[in-house]
A and B are shown apart, each in its own frame.
Chain A
Amino acid sequence: MRLVLTEEQQALRAAVRDLLTDRAASAQVRAAMESETGVDRDLWTRLGRDLDVLGLVVPEEYGGAGAGHVERAVVQEELGRALAPTPFLGSAVLATDALLALDDEEARRELLPKLVSGELIATVAVAEPGTPWGPGATTATASGDGWTLDGIKTPVVAGDLADVFLVVATTPEGPVWFRVEAADVERTTLTTLDPTRRLARVVLRGAPARKLESADPAGALERVADLATIALAAEQLGGLQRVLEMATDYAKVRVQFGRAIGSYQAVKHGLADVHSDWELGLSALRYAAWAADEAPDEVPVAAALVATFFGPAYFKAAEACVQYHGGIGYTWEHDAHLYYKRAKSTELLFGAPGRDRARLADRLGV
């Protein structure tokens, strides 16, 4: 296994960080989160057109960069660090991974190049109340030479923006993947705990759908879930690093009782624990991303491993960041709350920590 980045991968990180420093500073993130769409379309265009990082895991024949999950994780880390308001998780992770995991060549040829350029936004609609990875109660009915879907998907990542939905529905043969156009669904933008990432409820009422070919739709769903978990962990890692930096920087300059608060062991030792989590988590994330590229058999355990680690670790770090900032950390004006909300939201988005541990236990065979 390889847990150290190459020079090219480090250069990729530097390029993404440069762009985000310029285009996704706090004021820009806040402007986007308060805007109608919740995202920064201009930033999205730059990520796709200028940096060409939306298709890192997509083979060149579909317009992608033909790189891999290690590279995508580097980008995700930076997006998570900046809280960059983009539909990356929905479009460049979930929908892209689904198209690659399924066997529908026509859909790949039509959709992937547009997802890679950013001109089209797609997402996966699988979650239903109580089942983050479905398949749930949504049903598919054959109708003429197509299908119709009925059910409710929520929360759907980037569901408010998506042009195309890849939907998992239940048929008598088990779960099947379908493609549904945005015009054929009813969607509601939800109010979210994390204001920097929009989620939607998508209602399917006899929605016309095209079946996506797959030799193993349930297996594809597992793969999509695992890869999304790893991508989300990369984002959590980037956020964890940022809150550690914010709290550390503040602890160096905030003086109380005549000393910088970072000189007190109560604060210093707490930050040392957060730093340790960052070092440990970085190692686990690099491993999981490496496995996604090189060791598919290890992905199920690796994905459950990073899910189990990062949910609580990022939230603990974000909580510490608010705490060590004291009163100022509790204000709307300070960014600490944005990370606190992102951390709690991502800890729960794909299932609560207990579910992650149960899934890891399943995969370890205990």
Chain B
Amino acid sequence: MTAATTLATGSPPDLDAFREQARAWLREHAPATSPVTDIEAARAFQAALYDAGFAGITWPQDVGGRGLSTAYQQAFSDEEAEYELPTYPFTIGMGMCGPTVNDLGTPEQRTRYLPRLLRGEDIWCQLFSEPGAGSDVASLQTRAVLDGDSWVVDGQKVWTTNAQWADFGALLARTDPDRPKHSGLTMFVLDMHAPGVTVRPLKDMSGRAPFNEIYFDSVRIPADAVIGEVNNGWHAAVTMLGHERVSIGSRRRPKTNPLDFTAVTALAQRQGVSGEPATRERLAELYMRERVLELFNVRLRQEAAAGIAPGARGSVAKLAGSMLARLAVDTVGEIAGPEIVAWDPEDAAGAAVALGITSTPSSSIAGGTNEIQRGIIGDRVLGLPKEPSVDRGVPFRELKVGTQK
């Protein structure tokens, strides 16, 4: 009998005992290394996680979750931070799509999709951003047109994490271009294996391809695949973005970061410049920015446990994180100088620093640019007046958006 079924009914387990169970299970089952190269192994690990009762800790019991409070999820996350589990393919499904289906889905959708997601049987992706709709995602142009009892989808999505593996996508498409942009959208569950769906890897400036471009060519979606209501997709999108913020906020940083204080200090020692006053001041500044952000995240977690929602303050953490990353790029450059512009092909440390430098711009773009985060803080936290919008109340088809002429 699995832990999940043992504890499906009755009072919640003791938190410390739960933590101890998680620790023991991870010690025995966590793989030593985990860059996801074998998707079937990742699915098997997710299934094992589910069987042990550590998948969907806060999810409702009727869809296979454990129905426990966030304190239990936090306890598991704390323990899990010691490892790098191969759960990356499931992050979008577990963190964003699943919780949204749980909130807005029909009973049939909940029982069809959520248990499979928890058991690692389905991988999900999120189909929102488009070439013409980034920060202004509500201006998206992918269209879904009702044809008999199904919808026909044409368009293009981009920046889609995990789509190369995905079985399903949460698609946001325009279903009524005669309405203003926010009120003519609908969210669908899209079968990524359906005819007319093309997935292409998108290589980023670091040389990796963690994202994809998705093309839809007359893809048919059944009518019962609508999440929430037709033309109420913006509400569903906001719901999902709320889960995304929580998901990103609770995501652990990689255990080793070639540009963090510890790594850059070690680099300074190797370069023989660690005693120089300028180096010491720069390292102190880097430590300070890193530590202050860490303490802010601790405070947000403690407040959440005390019932104070983080709200839009997740934007502060995201903004501060990206500014820290930029500071780290400056710091490592000042300390290492020309030593990091070229390295031996076998030198993994050199490659890691270079990857840190070339991947840093993503931190101030992905998941909402720094400019968008500052706007959110200004509007929602400080209550400053919004900028006048030129598209309010105007039918979408009359707007100058994206690639629409």
Contacts and interface: CB of A to CB of B under 8 A. Distances in A.
Question: Which of the listed residues B295, B302, B306 has the most CB atoms from chain A within 10 Å of its own CB?
Answer: B295
Q: Pick from A3, A252, A286 the residue with the most CB of B within 10 Å.
A: A3
Given A4-B303, A358-B277, A366-B274, A305 B292 contact: yes
B371 A361 contact: no
B284 A360 contact: yes
B310 to A, nearest CB: 10
Where chain B touches its partner, the secondary structure class is helix
A273 B298 contact: no
Nearest to B381: A275
A271 B284 contact: no
A308 interface: yes
A253 to B, nearest CB: 10
Contacts of A3: 295, 298-299, 302
A282 interface: yes
A15 interface: no
A361 B280 contact: yes
Interface residues of B, number: 42
A284 B297 CA distance: 11
Given A252-B384, A280-B320, A308-B288, A268 B302 contact: no
B114 interface: no
A280 B293 contact: yes
What's the dominant secondary structure at chain A's contact region?
helix
Given A4-B303, A354-B281, A268 B384 contact: yes
B382 A248 contact: yes
Interface in A296-313: 304-305, 308-309
A21 interface: no
B281 A263 contact: no
A284 B384 contact: no
Contacts of A205: none
A283 interface: yes
Interface string B363-378: 0000000010111011
Contacts of A273: 374
Nearest to B319: A276
B270 interface: no
Given A2-B302, A280-B316, A272 B382 contact: yes
Interface of A: 1-4, 248, 251-252, 259-260, 262-265, 267-269, 271-273, 275-276, 279-284, 286-287, 304-305, 308-309, 354, 357-358, 360-361, 364, 366
8 contacts: A248-B384, A265-B374, A265-B387, A268-B375, A304-B284, A357-B281, A357-B285, A361-B284
